[in-house]
A and B are shown apart, each in its own frame.
Chain A
Amino acid sequence: MDKLSIILASDEFERLQAASMMASVASVSGIDVNVFVTMGAMACFVKERVERKDFIKVGEVGRAVLLKKAPLYFDLLSQGRMMGSMKVYACSLALDLIEKKMDQLVPIFDEVAGVSTFLGIAEGGQVLFV
């Protein structure tokens, strides 16, 4: 089976949308997908922020996504996990830095992982850095 690993590091709403769409469609197309959420992206998965719809950087297309009520990045990842083969990892360092635990994030994460763990998971497959 093909393998795709996506490192999600950006806090830009549109990048999160695009990467999450890639991830979910890949996972329902028979590709094993691993997503590693780290740095700026980590803050965009904090439950209280998501509930307030307080997105950090939203551009013109992102505003249209919100206005038209298209599915948001965490919905897309959630769909991909439910309907395909996808695992989502939260970077342990980024979580420590923003002083959050996994239960304070939107419930789409499988586990907390470090870089070495994720490199092991990603080994031998394609990697996208966003």
Chain B
Amino acid sequence: MSEEQKVDEVVDARGLFCPGPLMELIKTIQLKPVGTVLSVLSTDEGSVKDIPAWLQKVGQQHLGTEKKDGFWDVTVKKVK
């Protein structure tokens, strides 16, 4: 993950089942301006794979995924 990308908004979706983290991301990303960097926290591993697939499908940017202590941090940039 690129270190210089400042996270503007954290979407804490820990504890939610699939497709909860994706849905939480979508709810937030819709409201934010282009250029916003979001960090999605998820304890659901399926969602960690699903979010980049969704980003690719809709043309948004996946900046990276990091494994933290008991959860994943998926960083996303709204590019359109």
Contact A68 B22 (CB under 8 A): no
> How many inter-chain residue pairs (CB < 8 Å) link A and B?
27
Interface string of A9-29 (1 = CB under 8 A from B): 000000000000100110011
Contact A29 B17 (CB under 8 A): no
Q: Is A121 an interface residue (CB 8 A)?
A: no
Contact B17 A25 (CB under 8 A): no
Of residues 28 through 75 on chain B, the ones whose CB sits less than 8 Å from some CB of chain A are 30, 50, 54, 57-58
Q: How large is the interface on B (under 10, 10 to 19, 20 to 34, 35 or more residues)?
A: 10 to 19
Interface of B is mostly: helix
A76 to B17, CA, bound (A): 12
Collect the chain A residues with CB atoms within 8 Å of residue B57's CB.
29-30
Contact A28 B26 (CB under 8 A): yes
Contact A24 B19 (CB under 8 A): yes
Q: How large is the interface on A (under 10, 10 to 19, 20 to 34, 35 or more residues)?
A: 10 to 19
Interface string of A50-65 (1 = CB under 8 A from B): 0000000000000000
Collect the chain B residues with CB atoms within 8 Å of residue A28's CB.
22-23, 26, 54
A25 to B54, CA, bound (A): 9
Collect the chain B residues with CB atoms within 8 Å of residue A30's CB.
57-58
Q: Is A40 an interface residue (CB 8 A)?
A: no
Contact A25 B19 (CB under 8 A): yes
Contact B17 A71 (CB under 8 A): yes
Q: Is A115 an interface residue (CB 8 A)?
A: no
Q: Is A70 an interface residue (CB 8 A)?
A: yes
Q: Is A98 an interface residue (CB 8 A)?
A: no
Chain A residues engaging chain B, CB cutoff 8 angstroms: 21, 24-25, 28-30, 68, 70-71, 76, 79, 83
18 contacts between A and B (CB under 8 A): A21-B18, A21-B19, A24-B23, A25-B22, A25-B54, A28-B22, A28-B54, A29-B54, A29-B57, A29-B58, A30-B57, A68-B17, A71-B20, A76-B19, A79-B23, A83-B23, A83-B26, A83-B30
* Closest 5 A/B residue pairs (Cβ): A70-B17, A29-B57, A28-B26, A25-B19, A83-B26
